[in-house]
Structure 1
Amino acid sequence: MAQRKAGEVEAFLSRPDTSFPVVLLYGPDPGLVSERANTVARLSGVDAADPFASVVLAADELERDIGRLFDEARTVSMFGGRRLVRIKGAGNGKNLADAAADLARDPPPGVTVVIEAGDLKKSSALRVQIERGHAAMALPCFPDEARALDKMIDEELAASKLSIDRATRELLRTRLGANRMASRSEVQKLCLYALGQAAVTEADVETIVGDVSADTVDESVDAAASGEVRRLPDLLERLVASGTSTHQLHSALQRHFQQLLLMRAEVEGQGTPVSAAVEKRRPHFRRKPAMEAALSAWTGEAIAAVLQRIEADILLSRREAALSVTIMRRTLTEIGVEAARRRTRSRR
């Protein structure tokens, strides 16, 4: 089968095998998928800025007009040389999977096809077709583990002739998000700030690298549950920019409403005051007002319905990985709007 394990991908990309002109990169980290797709594109030898030699296609558009993929793949470069066809946002579309099977079985000469996809299951038609194709390669891209993250940090520091001690490295790790490209951007920004020094310091990291993901997840969950709808767009933009996975946010939202359901049972079944029910959980003082507002707004029945909705959206995000960010935005926004309505009604 034409595939590599997650731990073998970096080695494969360092010694690319040109007998695989069709390459699928997939995984839950879109930044890592995109970064490695950039590497494959660069190794193809095609100038990505040349519109006569390179083209970028959207997977959802190809589902409506798959013929365009074959037209682009079989087009001969105007000035000779190889061509690059790059497909973004692939998921579980049947037409693209069937087309990938055809290209993997009989690839047009002089063309490299790079497909970027979300977190595809093993049974996904696109993965199955690529892994079966004799001229195709499937490369899984999973979020940075410690060794891969250290490798990226070392690459950027070496390029800027900077060193880093163990304590500073640990601090830097904790502040990097789940998105490879976003993490690399943060390290590059840090190196630029420390340029001219011999080493990066903890003070440099604290000044430059923002720990946005964890705090912003809590803020986003609280804003949605308590009906602070106006805060959501900015919070969601910060989460997307930091590379926070949609699964992380959906999971945090699910845990929060499960906790609200338990507290609401105490309020409705035992007559416990809202403030006392919240205080028993010992939340951070910054989150306490939002938790009290949410607990006051939602009934037990309504919370149970929200939990069913969140579970359905989590499953939908897994099936339609390319739309996971859109699904996440919709989930939080619609919950926030409903919470705001409930708070308004309770004041009347």
Structure 2
Amino acid sequence: MAQKKAGEVEAFLNRPDFAYSLVLFYGPDTGLVAERSAKLAKAFGVDPGDPFSAVVLSGDEIEKDIGRLYDEAKTLSLLGGRRLVRVRGAGAGKALADAAGELGGERLTDTLIIVEAGDLKKNAALRANAERGRHAMALPCYQDEGRALDQMIDEELTAAGLGMDRDARDALKARLGADRIASRGEVQKLCLYALGTPTVTEADVAAIVGDVSADALDEAIDAAVSGEVKRLPHLIDRLTTAGAPTFQLHQALLRYFQQLLALREGVERRGEPVARAVERRRPHFRRRPAMEAALSAWTLAALDARLQAIEADILMSRKDSGLALTITHRTLMDTAVEAARLRARGGA
């Protein structure tokens, strides 16, 4: 088996072992997945803009024509040297999972396949096959926390020749973390803003850095599921302006409704009190009122209908990325309107 724990991934990327011909990056932080994938691709030494040595494929494209992946993986570079194949937006498709198992079981001469996927459960076929492959490696990418976030901040400060006092760092970290690329972009913006001064201050952070933290994401999701229709547009705009990817908003909403569905089963079918069901879930105390309001309002039938609508919107946004922001905004607002209606009717 070839896999790393989340805390071991950076060490692997700093000294990559290219005996692994297929490397899978997966996790809920799509920005971190993309950044780490790019870091490994750079270390491999192939110019991503060279059409003779590098190719980028989409997960949807491969599911329709898996032969394309085999062809690209086993084609030698026309000019000699190494060849890079990147697969983006991989999902739960069977064709790609099977191919990962097969290609990850053999050593591909001078070829590296990098697969970027979302959050995969332990029993997901793609993840399981990558972990089992003799020449494959599975690398988890989870939300920036603690040391990893400090490291990213230090990298950007060093590159800009700036220092930062403790209060400024604490204020900055409170606004970062929901997505690696969005967070790095905010730090780079801060460094540009503070250029010419020796030290970044808390006032600089307040003046220029948007809020892309997990707390801001949770606040928007809570507002949607509990029916805070008037407050929600501001929360959505704050997240999207700060660079939070629409995919992350959709996935957070989907996961929340899946949790609500499991909790509501106990409320409707076993007569469990709402307060006890929420207590069993142990949410952060700031999120508890919204969860209790949502669990009281949403019936099993309503939850099932909303889950189907969310999944349909996610699929639509993936098919037409140009409308992703509009679709995500609509999904959240439709959810909030329906939640408000259900609360007004007492969950009927």
**TM-score normalised over the length of structure 2:** 0.74
Cα shift readout 1:305-335 (whole Å, capped 9, x = no counterpart): 44455567899999xxx89x89966742543
> Which residue of structure 1 lines up, in the alignment, with residue 117 of structure 2?
117
> Which residue of structure 2 lines up, in the alignment, with residue 198 of structure 1?
198
> Which residue of structure 2 lines up, in the alignment, with residue 44 of structure 1?
44
- Rg comparison, structure with higher value: 1
Name the SS for the 2:104 alignment partner.
helix
Take 1:116 and 1:330, find their aligned partners in 2: how far apart are those partners? 27
> Which residue of structure 2 lines up, in the alignment, with residue 238 of structure 1?
240
**Which range moves more in the overlay, 233-242 or 106-115?**
233-242
**How far did 1:124 drift?**
0.9
**How far did 1:238 drift?**
1.1
Change (3 A) 1:306 1:127: same
Cα shift readout 1:220-247 (whole Å, capped 9, x = no counterpart): 7546836669959964971782255545
Change (3 A) 1:118 1:112: same
Tell me which amino acid in the other structure corresponds to 1:94. K
Take 1:301 and 1:337, find their aligned partners in 2: how far apart are those partners? 12
Change (3 A) 1:157 1:102: same
Take 1:316 and 1:235, find their aligned partners in 2: how far apart are those partners? 22
Take 1:187 and 1:301, find their aligned partners in 2: how far apart are those partners? 40
> Which residue of structure 1 lines up, in the alignment, with residue 102 of structure 2?
102
Name the SS for the 2:182 alignment partner.
helix
> Which residue of structure 1 lines up, in the alignment, with residue 76 of structure 2?
76
Take 1:43 and 1:128, find their aligned partners in 2: how far apart are those partners? 25
Take 2:116 and 2:179, find their aligned partners in 1: how far apart are those partners? 15
Q: How many percent identity over aligned positions?
A: 50
Take 1:231 and 1:199, find their aligned partners in 2: how far apart are those partners? 35
**Structure 1 unmatched runs, 5+:** 258-282, 284-290, 344-348
> Which residue of structure 2 lines up, in the alignment, with residue 176 of structure 1?
176
**Which range moves more in the overlay, 307-316 or 69-78?**
307-316
**TM-score normalised over the length of structure 1:** 0.74
Name the SS for the 2:243 alignment partner.
helix
**8 Å CA contact retained: 1:227, 1:338:** no
Matched, 1:10 2:13: no
**Which range moves more in the overlay, 229-238 or 64-73?**
229-238
Cα shift readout 1:11-54 (whole Å, capped 9, x = no counterpart): 11111111112100011100000000001111111100111111
RCO higher in structure (CA 8 A, sep ≥6): 1
**8 Å CA contact retained: 1:217, 1:252:** no
**1:223-234 alignment, distance < 5 Å:** 225=227, 231=233
Tell me which amino acid in the other structure corresponds to 1:78. L
**8 Å CA contact retained: 2:97, 2:129:** yes
Tell me which amino acid in the other structure corresponds to 1:70. Y
